[in-house]
């Protein structure tokens, strides 16, 4: 069994690169006018169809974080990690029905702009800086690191730094074409990542059947997974007891059973999909019908993502358990699970799957870089450095911002300065994003739907949410003990008491909302900056209702099967 790429793999990958680059160039020349308009460059205003919006949402979301990180969690914890995909589908329904009408009605193009219009300049600039740091040092860097590690596992670890530069340059080329190029090339990217992902899991399942049953059936291979790893096919982990193993406790800390559905899981998803420049940017330039249909299309696709981003990890677990992998191919560390599965593929097919992984990485890097560029250019540079800048100047500044952000990500990735590899990629991103999610989501939720919320409450909210997240994550078990009325802390792999971070997010959000309400009660009954809304904004067409019903029913069926 050889894990390294062959000549035919490189040829397949080259074809993928030529197709995406050529299509991107065609879009740039045919659908753009030099990209001199900021709304055109940053938002592709009015030009993305519903299917392009939906595909772009998925392509930007499904990245190394999912392929590598979620496969790793599948190897470690099993189907429970699919909560991030299936709850996301319901979160997208909520965003489509209630959030998008508010954004589009008030002509919101960036998230800091929302905060300025609804609250004040101070809130907007605080959050603009927060988001820039988060996108550059957590998201952009982790995606580049995880993707490069995965591909170097097949191309050879000595090529890691070349792959870092290659992925960064590929993303840069896509990004400088603007949101139109990103949006339409994402349609190809999502098709490739789904096709390559399905090929990988099909061959993984047939390999499982061959190793265990000496057969050649993917269906039999899936049934074998359920028999060989029954504990990997339950959505809910029971609360650990004194006899629970350290490994089980680690699983519970990452995915704390039913508790997370009453705590941080909804906050993480609703904040990510509804209050995140990186995601909402795809729909903000469209009309309401197109935006809704695109978001719901993405929600429908999310239902099937665990097949290609989580199931490979379980297959890797069963094969590793049966002694199939050489130590040089897979050492049992969870972030290496997906690369181990790709090593099973024959020459040529490896190239297709690497193209799928690259598509996911590049699409996500491009989306993040574009959002960084948009926030820096429109919410910082234009407002505080050059208010009279021309449209052409702003686009140039946006491209420079992209180059700087990608360069910083390369520097952080070069020697893993942030320690992403040690913590596990998926957990790293979720945990550190969760430091600002409670405060941000509280600000947006109250700002949209409670007219009394004040600017002072928003400032208090974002700072309180961050401070409480730090306290719960780093200090609460030491200060208040491992067991309180609010939480139970457990000893992690290092022997230190840790509260599940999703529980931390839930309590941080709760206390932030309470404090924001109390501060707002000291202000006027209706804030002069409150958004106007009426019932007609939230009216749904019959076809939309049908699609929403379909998504909800599928989620219910999945939970009934794997509870």
| pLDDT at residue 351 is higher than 70 | yes
| pLDDT at residue 262 is higher than 60 | yes
Nearest to 56, CA basis, from 182, 245, 206, 195: 182
- Here the tokens at position 91 are 């979160």
- Using a CB cutoff of 8 Å and minimum separation of 24, what contacts does 208-215 make? 208/315, 208/318, 208/319, 211/319, 211/322, 211/324, 212/318, 212/322
- Mean pLDDT over the full length of the chain: 83
**Mean pLDDT of the region 134-141:** 83
- Which letter, b or e, does each residue of 336-367 get, where b requires 16 or more Cβ atoms within 10 Å of its Cβ? bbbbbbbbbbebebbbbbbbbbbbbbbbbbbb
Q: Which of 85-89, 130-134, 221-225, 463-467 has the lowest mean pLDDT?
A: 130-134
Say what percent of the chain tops pLDDT 70: 89
Higher pLDDT, residue 488 or 342:
488
Query: Looking at residue 68, what is its pLDDT?
Result: 76
Of the pLDDT bands very low, low, confident and very high (cuts 50, 70, 90), residue 420 is low
Nearest to 139, CA basis, from 54, 61, 42: 61
What is the pTM (predicted TM-score) of this model?
Answer: 0.82
Of the pLDDT bands very low, low, confident and very high (cuts 50, 70, 90), residue 34 is very low
Query: Looking at residue 532, what is its pLDDT?
Result: 81
Q: What is the DSSP-derived secondary structure letter of residue 540?
A: -
Nearest to 527, CA basis, from 104, 13, 127, 117: 117
Query: Looking at residue 1, what is its pLDDT?
Result: 44
Of the pLDDT bands very low, low, confident and very high (cuts 50, 70, 90), residue 559 is very high
Of the pLDDT bands very low, low, confident and very high (cuts 50, 70, 90), residue 554 is very high
Query: Looking at residue 66, what is its pLDDT?
Result: 74
| Domain chopping of the chain, boundaries | 7-424+536-562, 434-532
Q: Which of 112-121, 175-184, 349-358 has the lowest mean pLDDT?
A: 175-184
* Cα–Cα distance measured from residue 260 to residue 1, given in angstroms and rounded to the nearest whole number: 40
Pairing of strands 497-498, 490-491: antiparallel
Query: Looking at residue 125, what is its pLDDT?
Result: 87
* Tens digits of residue pLDDT in 148-157: 877 776 777 7
Query: Looking at residue 330, what is its pLDDT?
Result: 74
Query: Looking at residue 489, what is its pLDDT?
Result: 93
* Tens digits of residue pLDDT in 214-237: 888 989 999 999 999 999 999 999
Query: Looking at residue 488, what is its pLDDT?
Result: 92
**CATH code 1.20.1730.10 for 7-424+536-562:** yes
Q: Which helix (H) or strand (E) holds 497?
A: strand 497-498
Highest mean pLDDT among 45-59, 186-200, 220-234: 220-234
H-helix segments, 348-436: 349-374, 382-384, 391-414, 420-423, 425-433
* Cα–Cα distance measured from residue 127 to residue 149, given in angstroms and rounded to the nearest whole number: 31
| pLDDT at residue 368 is higher than 70 | yes
CB 199 within 8 A of CB 353: yes
Q: Three-state SS for 524?
A: coil
């Amino acid at each position: 069994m050889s894990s390294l790429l062959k000549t035919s793999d490189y040829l397949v990958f080259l074809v993928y690169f030529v197709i995406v680059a050529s299509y991107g160039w065609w879009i740039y020349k045919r659908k753009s006018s030099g990209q001199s308009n900021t709304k055109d460059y940053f938002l592709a205003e009015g030009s993305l169809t519903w299917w392009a919006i939906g595909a772009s949402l998925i392509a930007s979301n499904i990245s190394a974080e999912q392929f590598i990180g979620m496969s790793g969690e599948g190897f470690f914890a099993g189907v429970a990690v699919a909560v991030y995909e299936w709850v996301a589908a319901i979160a997208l329904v909520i965003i489509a029905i209630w959030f998008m009408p508010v954004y589009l009605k008030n002509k919101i193009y960036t998230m800091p702009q929302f905060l300025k219009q609804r609250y004040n300049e101070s809130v907007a600039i605080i959050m603009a800086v927060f988001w820039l740091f988060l996108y550059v040092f957590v998201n952009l860097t982790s995606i580049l690191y995880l993707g490069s590690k995965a591909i170097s596992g097949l191309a050879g670890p000595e090529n890691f730094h070349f792959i870092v530069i290659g992925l960064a340059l590929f993303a840069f080329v896509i990004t400088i074409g603007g949101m139109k190029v990103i949006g339409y090339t994402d349609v190809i990217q999502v098709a490739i990542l789904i096709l390559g992902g399905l090929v990988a899991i099909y061959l993984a399942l047939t390999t499982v059947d061959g190793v265990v049953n000496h057969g050649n059936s993917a269906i039999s291979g899936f049934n074998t997974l359920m028999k060989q790893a029954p504990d990997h096919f339950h959505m809910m982990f029971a609360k650990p007891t004194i006899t629970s193993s350290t490994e089980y406790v680690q699983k519970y800390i990452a995915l704390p059973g039913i508790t997370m559905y009453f705590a941080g899981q909804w906050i993480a998803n609703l904040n990510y999909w509804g209050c995140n420049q990186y995601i909402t940017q795809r729909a903000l330039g469209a009309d309401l019908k197109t935006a809704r249909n695109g978001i719901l299309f993405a929600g429908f696709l999310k239902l099937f993502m665990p097949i290609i981003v989580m199931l490979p990890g379980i297959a890797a677990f069963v094969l590793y358990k049966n002694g199939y992998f050489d130590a040089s191919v897979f050492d049992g560390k969870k972030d290496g699970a997906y690369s181990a599965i790709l090593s099973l593929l024959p020459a040529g097919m490896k190239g297709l799957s690497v193209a799928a992984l690259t598509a996911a990485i590049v699409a996500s890097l491009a989306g993040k870089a574009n959002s960084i560029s948009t926030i820096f250019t429109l919410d910082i540079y234009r407002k505080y450095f050059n208010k009279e800048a021309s449209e052409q100047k702003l686009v140039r500044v946006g491209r420079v911002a992209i180059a700087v952000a990608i360069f910083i990500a390369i520097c952080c990735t070069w020697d893993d300065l942030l320690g992403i590899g040690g913590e596990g990629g998926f957990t790293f991103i979720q945990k550190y994003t969760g430091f600002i999610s409670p405060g941000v989501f509280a600000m947006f939720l109250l700002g949209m739907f409670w007219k009394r919320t004040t600017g002072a409450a928003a400032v208090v909210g974002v700072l309180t949410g961050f401070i409480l997240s730090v306290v719960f994550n780093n200090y609460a078990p030491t200060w208040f003990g491992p067991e309180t009325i609010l939480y139970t802390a457990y000893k992690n792999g290092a022997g230190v008491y840790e509260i599940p971070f999703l529980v931390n997010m839930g309590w941080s959000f709760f206390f932030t909302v309470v404090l924001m309400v109390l501060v707002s009660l000291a202000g006027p009954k209706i804030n002069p900056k409150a958004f106007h809304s009426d019932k007609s904004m939230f009216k749904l067409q019959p076809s939309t209702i049908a699609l929403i019903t379909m998504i909800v029913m599928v989620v219910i069926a999945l939970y009934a099967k794997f509870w």
